[in-house]
Structure 1
Amino acid sequence: MIDIETGRVFSFEEFNKECNRYANYFQGQGFRAGDVVALFMENSVDFVAAWMGLAKIGVATAWINCNLKREPLAHCIQTTLDETISAELFSCQNVNLYVIGDARMNPRFIQLSEKLQSQRTFEPKQRDVIDFKSILCYIYTSGTTGLPKAAVMKHFRYYSMVIGAAKSFGIYSSDRIYVSMPIYHTAAGILGVGQALCRGSCCVIRKKFSASNFWRDCVQYQCTVSP
């Protein structure tokens, strides 16, 4: 897996260790199956590692459109988290806020990047039953006809969509997948990144779509598929 903006390159072993850092950290914080963590992130390897790591301990993730503000943002979080939240997100005192990057802008942020570095990289303890029927994540509609609506994505549904896309469009494990559309939507998060997670393809991630960089990136990273 390749993160264009940061230049980081991960083998499958290295990426799995990164996922385990998230899993072990949040398990140590008391998170377990049935809990939900909202991801408000731009495209990055960290986005994928966070959701995969949390999935290992049975925690579902809500993939929030990082361009949302005020009421639509509060609505998306409220529909998947137990705590009541107002449109003023940072005024809510009973929701932990984790940040990857610079947390100095707000003392309520928990600097996650530093904490992850000290985490164990082996597989987390299996304390709950996690199977194909377990909820993997919540993916939201675009909200063009109202507020975004959360669609429940279970492990089996995610897997079947990945395999179905591969069979339908002739995608192979030898393909290199270029992902520049938002990972929090189905096309990139499932049909694109899923080819790496479920079928072993290389995934190249750009933070956001760029018309001027699209073909340059595809040539440089030898990409053969883009959802």
Structure 2
Amino acid sequence: MKTSLAYPGLVKVVPGFNYITVPELLRQKATECGDMPYILFEDDSWTFRQVFESANRIANGLISLGVKKGDRVAVILPNCPEHVFAFFGVVTSGAVELPVNIDFRGKELAYVLEHAETNVIITKTDLLPHILEVWKLGPGRSIVCIGGSDVQGVISYDDFVEKSSLRYPNVALDVDDPAGLIYTSGSTGFPKGALISHRYKVVFGAITDWSYRLSPRDRIMLITPLFHGVALWHGIMGALYMGLPCAVISRFSATNFWEQARRYQATIVYAVGAIPAMLFNQPPDPRDRDHSVRMIWAFMTPGRILEAFEKRFNTTIYDGLGQTECGRVYINYPPIRKPGSLGLPYEFSDTKIVDDDDNEVPLGEVGEICVRAPSIMLGYFKNPEATEQALKGGWLHTGDNGRMDEDGFVWFTDRKKDVIRRRGKVISSFEVQDIIGAHPKVLEAACIAVPSDLAEEEILAAVVLRPGVIPPEPEELVAWCKERLAYYKVPRYWIYRDRLPKTPSLRIQKFILRQEIKVDDAVEIPVTKEGEEIRRRVKA
């Protein structure tokens, strides 16, 4: 397969940076930081040396099972110390770590495991039945299970680790060898497997330091799943690169968040887009400012709450955007910040905006966002056509539409596949749902295109209301939108839902919405150019 390395300039080289593999970085930090705390979980902690030793044991155990350099080893675990040990153990063995969402079931779990051609899985007892439903043990296949199992062929994690050597395996690895196979969030359908190199993971850990100005006094807290890149690359790898302690939270809870931050004396928190809004929606508390969190990493925080959030909680949101294929490439934080934008391309990266023919568009015009960066995937596993399409011309095509302003700030407009074409106009579903989400009674909203009787498309808004509010009539939401949007951007169809389908990174899965929602179940409110409205319920 033709990888990103075949495109000169696509993977940016950072001048003077010491490129090493993940196992070598862990080995280096085990020597430099030794008995300093690295991983914190509940009431326990593990030093850099202990994590290094655990990784060695797992690596040697995998090698004894027949795992070879380049093999895929699946890690299907919740947030726990063993997840961290398994990640480092897999890459230390020379294998490629395959982190899998613990909520995957049936076809989606089978798809990832079979497509990745994995023969070894590290998991825990309560997840084992779901795995065995779709993935059968047999010759050449093994499951290492925390908590053990009576199932023949399943290996006890404790026995597996205790019987393995502490010796560093010293497998010959290059920085451009694959270290991870990350299946993308699936916001547009079945995910593709992005191959991630050692170079990518180590550079990304360093970028955490460069971008967010970390200091030896910082303490990191992770609240997102370890099978997601935010936690693994920014959190675990960032803490490793800087030699900092990193608290791993088993599961995010908006009600417990600040108490956990106080418990671990966290100064840096890595989150995802929806989490600041979820925290902001919690009832005010006298202790809202009683913590040591100086920075919350997030992306695309709604501009309407950004400054209010920072004032209420006495912290700063470092906003931006990235994706599995390239990591985070934009930063947006004071003193140079434009609320609502993705921010500026960080140092050592390039951005251009192109049209459908791959021609660069003028400043201010909308097109597809393309990037070059130090952290670019090698390509899509077993999918050379998708790889070629994504990397054509030596630029990563993100699939996101946006524009660049005169100051170099990049503004997201929509996923390329989610753009709505209505009455000869191109409409950003992101813009419309952001306006709806600002209504006092609305928790969140998603807008999708539905067929029009005339031609092109109409807009359907799926709305989740805040708990406890009296549901507004759809006309109230239409009036709200009319005051803030051009008439042709106001949705024609409205439907209330208890929840919206989301990826592990809390991005709305609009392809699932399109499958679930029937226009016949929605309320139709046509809005003309003059603002006249006619309400009628389409037959349910």
Q: 1:96-111, aligned counterparts within 5 Å?
A: 96-104=142-150, 106-111=151-156
- Match for residue 27 of structure 1 among 41, 63, 73: 63
Structure 1 pair 218–117 and aligned structure 2 pair: CA distance change class (3 A): same
Indicate yes or no: 2:51 matched with 1:8.
no
Q: In the TM superposition, what whole-angstrom CA distance separates every residue of 1:39-88 from its partner, at most 9, and x where no partner exists? A: 111111111111211211211111111111111111111221166xx994
Aligned to 1:59: 95
Indicate yes or no: 2:120 matched with 1:75.
no
- Match for residue 80 of structure 2 among 44, 47, 63: 44
Give the CA deviation at 1:189.
0.9
Indicate yes or no: 2:164 matched with 1:119.
yes
Aligned to 1:91: 136
Contact 1:136 1:155 in 2 (8 A): yes
Contact 1:72 1:148 in 2 (8 A): no
Alignment-mate amino acid for residue 210 of structure 2: K
TM-score by length of 2: 0.39
Contact 2:137 2:153 in 1 (8 A): no
Give the CA deviation at 1:204.
0.6
Rounded Cα–Cα distance in structure 1 between residues aligned with 2:66 and 2:221: 36
Which structure is richer in relative contact order (CA contacts within 8 A, separation 6 or more)? 1
Secondary structure, aligned partner of 1:166: helix
RMSD across aligned positions (CA): 2.0
Secondary structure, aligned partner of 1:211: coil
Aligned to 2:190: 147
Give the CA deviation at 1:121.
1.7
- Match for residue 17 of structure 1 among 48, 53, 70: 53
Give the CA deviation at 1:213.
2.1
Aligned to 1:157: 200
Aligned to 2:212: 169
Contact 1:74 1:87 in 2 (8 A): no
Secondary structure, aligned partner of 2:252: coil
Secondary structure, aligned partner of 1:10: strand
Q: Unaligned stretches of 5+ in structure 1?
A: none
Structure 1 pair 143–87 and aligned structure 2 pair: CA distance change class (3 A): farther
Alignment-mate amino acid for residue 195 of structure 1: G
Contact 1:59 1:136 in 2 (8 A): yes
Q: Which protein has the bigger strand share?
A: 2
Alignment-mate amino acid for residue 95 of structure 2: V
Alignment-mate amino acid for residue 93 of structure 1: G
The number of aligned residues is 221
Rounded Cα–Cα distance in structure 1 between residues aligned with 2:240 and 2:257: 23
Q: Which protein has the bigger helix share?
A: 1
Contact 2:216 2:244 in 1 (8 A): yes
